[in-house]
Amino acid sequence: MTSVREWIYSGRHAVGERWHNAPRWMRWAVIAAVIVFFYALPNREFYQWLGPIPTTGSNFGQVLFTISIYVLLAVGLNIVVGFAGLLDLGYFGFFAVGAYTVAVLTSPSSDLKTLWPWLLALPVALVLTMISGVMLGTPTLRLRGDYLAIVTLGFAEMIRVAATSSEFLKGQRGFNQIPHPPGSYSDGKPIFGVLDPRPYYWLVLTLIILVVIGVRNLNRSRVGRAWISIREDEDAAQLMGVPTFKFKLWAFASGAFIGGLAGALFAGKQNFVSSQNLELLNSIIILAAVILGGSGNIVGAIVGGGLVAYMIERFRGIEFFGVELYEYRFMFFGLVLVVMMIFRPQGLIPNRRRAAEFKDRRKEVIVGG
């Protein structure tokens, strides 16, 4: 088993070295080609040549929209878990805050009857989600490890219970007729309609690119260096003069912003929000996506979020000896996680520091054995 692990690591390390040593123009050309590929992906004229990759049991454009939402959430949670090293089990609560804020301000079934357009409600949802992140973090971020995880889990459950039992939030009846994002074609037909999910996917994909650029710049700034120091050794960082509490709040607020953005986009696409969308399993799936892709690496979070969402949706409509495989999707998902934790505990695409840590631990195990 050790030889298999070494082979996998050496292969990944060689690819990583070639990528970092490649000319700058070549790396930008590869990135541009990848972006063009994903923009073309929802078009039938393109994905019909991709063999078994497109889903057969559901609309592939809708699946791509779901994948893009998972990717956006994984990038946001990666700030909290991967960069700052804070274990958050209730991240989906921020998604709920964003979705419900849009629903309350725009839906005709809301008690407020404000009937705002989606675009006007969006910044309010983002601000309220960031405030909720700060409000959650202020009394709890002095906790660490398992204790912080339990508190964040409680936050997500509070949101779910409030949404289920509150008459103001409509429980399982939910909010309907939530307006879609604005925009229309030259003939007056709305860009963001009900039947075609592709414009929503393109919108989320564009926002993912902008978010990734922002997170990447933030991670390379003084804030990102503070997050890394907190993740590696919070006590040492505090002794060196890093205001750890302040930067942990930064991480929570930044992650909450992205989670709220995903929730607002989801509400605008689905046209409906209810407490049935707020299962605890969603938070666990997003956390698993970050770990699967490679905690602390933006590309790893993107890959992890995309793979997890695709794995779950790929089994829809597939039967094996009369058995609907979609019913066992989480069993297959769990098996993949178990195999990954055995052979790639650092994730598919870990950051360099984390990969070096696992390499050193592997050497210690070999020497000790």
Percent of the chain with pLDDT over 70: 90
Q: How far apart are CA 255 and CA 252, in angstroms?
A: 5
**Model confidence over 103-133: pLDDT tens digits?**
999 999 999 989 999 999 999 999 999 999 9
- Whole-number Cα distances in Å, 185 to 39, 42, 189, 200: 19, 19, 5, 15
The pLDDT of 287-307, averaged and rounded, is: 92
How far apart CA 62 and CA 306 sit, in angstroms, is 13
Q: Is residue 97 part of a domain?
A: yes
pLDDT tens figures, 61-110: 999 999 999 999 999 999 999 999 888 888 999 999 999 999 999 999 99
Structure tokens at 110: 């809301």
Has residue 309 got a pLDDT over 70?
yes
323 bridge partner residues: 320
Residue 287 falls within a domain, yes or no? yes
> Is residue 22 situated within a structural domain?
no
Tokens of 207: 């926002």
Full residue range of the structural domain in which residue 212 is found: 59-312+349-368
Q: State yes or no: pLDDT of 337 exceeds 60.
A: yes
CATH of the domain at 106: 1.10.3470
More confidently predicted of 350 and 57: 350
Name the pLDDT band for 7 (thresholds 50, 70, 90): very low
Which band of pLDDT confidence, cut at 50, 70 and 90, is reported for residue 355? low
What average pLDDT does range 40-44 have in this prediction? 92
How many angstroms separate the CA atoms of 326 and 63, rounded? 14
- What pLDDT shows up at residue 148? 87
| Residue 281 included in any domain | yes
Asked if residue 46 is part of any domain, the answer here is: no
Number of folded domains that form the chain? 1
